[in-house]
Structure 1
Amino acid sequence: MMDEVAGLQLSYSCSGPRQLGPDTKAFVSDVRETLLSLEPSGVFEERVHTEAITARRP
């Protein structure tokens, strides 16, 4: 799951490899280190809220 979070950060235009350049590896390392300090197991829960509105014509 940590790799998914780090990968997501790299997919943003403001923190992608193009912007980070040679600092990309250090950035990913810092992201992983920070995540492990928050959750030592490295597993994070993603909550997804879905809502559907349906309608029909009379």
Structure 2
Amino acid sequence: MVIKEGRAPEVITDLTEAELDKFRNVSMASADEVLDMHNFLKNFDGDFSRLFSQKKA
């Protein structure tokens, strides 16, 4: 990727403008959220059926 001084890099995506706008306005994940997801995935056994059938507390 070549970034010319004073210019933003060209965005190459298959998202629509509406989808891009939606994600531009979303706050970034915090360090705590990333760590929480890391810990969840580290212990996740891959059983999505059980995961999505669990009732919320």
Shorter-chain TM-score above 0.5: no
Higher helix share: 1
Q: Larger C-alpha radius of gyration, 1 or 2?
A: 2
TM-score by length of 2: 0.31
The higher-RCO structure (CA 8 Å, 6+ apart) is: 1
